[in-house]
Amino acid sequence: MITLLNATRIQGGTIILAGATTQFKPRDRVGILAVAGSGKSTLARLFSGIEPPDGGIVQRHGRLSWPMGFAGAFHPDLTAATNIALIADMIGQDPGRTVAFCDQFVGFAGLNRPMKTFSPVERATLAFSLSLAVPCDGYIADEVIGVGDAPMRAKCDAMLEQRLASAGLVFLSRNPAQIKKYCRSFYVLIGGRLIPCPDVDVAATALKLSTEPEGAEA
């Protein structure tokens, strides 16, 4: 799905990725455990192809999603349906079918009203439904892998599961339990290094040890 060859990403003097070389295999479900502020969102944009690395190569195979649930491009004055139809056109999807999918998925009435009338939850749900509406070869999730109340989250999980039958996932999170739930391969991000781990508990332990002050005993 994604191949990193000596990929380096530096943001504002902080090394987020220091010459990482690894491969996320097609249809694998990769979990990357990282602490807050370690550059998860930057990595997600790197994997999504939104920005290039500072050094090395990020090879992306097939269609990879934008960070799931991204809602930053909805224009407040346009209706939800228009917003979605325009985005669908930009990414080469059928606008009618995409709007219909989102309309059916979100379950609340009326995508034909301006985006600014949406509550934050509705907005997030709509954005997530748009991510699920687009068939991809790989989905990139940055902390957000489901939205809304329990029934809606279950719906998100079910749809994601359906998509993942023929696609991979890269999930960046600081929550080991979440990563355990969704992923099969594990990495931990420590000091710009992407370290593979046999399971999420090892990843969590490694992360814990790395963040404790020198000489401190657990």
Enumerate residues 6+ apart whose C-beta is below 8 A from 137: 1, 26, 61, 62, 63, 64, 166, 167, 168
Residue whose tokens read 């814990």: 208
Using CB under 8 A, pick the residue from 6, 14, 25, 52 that binds another protein: 52
Residue among 42 and 125 whose Cβ is closer to another protein: 42
Does 90 interact with another protein (rule: CB under 8 A)?
yes
Contact present, 199 and 185 (Cβ < 8 Å):
no
Does 113 interact with another protein (rule: CB under 8 A)?
no
Contact present, 34 and 208 (Cβ < 8 Å):
no
Contact present, 6 and 20 (Cβ < 8 Å):
yes
Number of residues that bind another protein (CB under 8 A): 22
Does 87 interact with another protein (rule: CB under 8 A)?
yes
Q: How far is CA 78 from the centre of its chain?
A: 25
For strands 168-173 and 2-11, give the pairing: unpaired
Using CB under 8 A, pick the residue from 13, 36, 37, 77 that binds another protein: 77
With contacts defined by CB under 8 A, name the span among 30-38, 50-58, 146-154, 160-168 that binds another protein.
50-58
Using CB under 8 A, pick the residue from 50, 57, 121, 154 that binds another protein: 50
- Site for another protein, rule CB under 8 A: 45, 48-52, 64, 66-67, 70, 72-73, 75, 77-78, 82, 86-87, 89-92
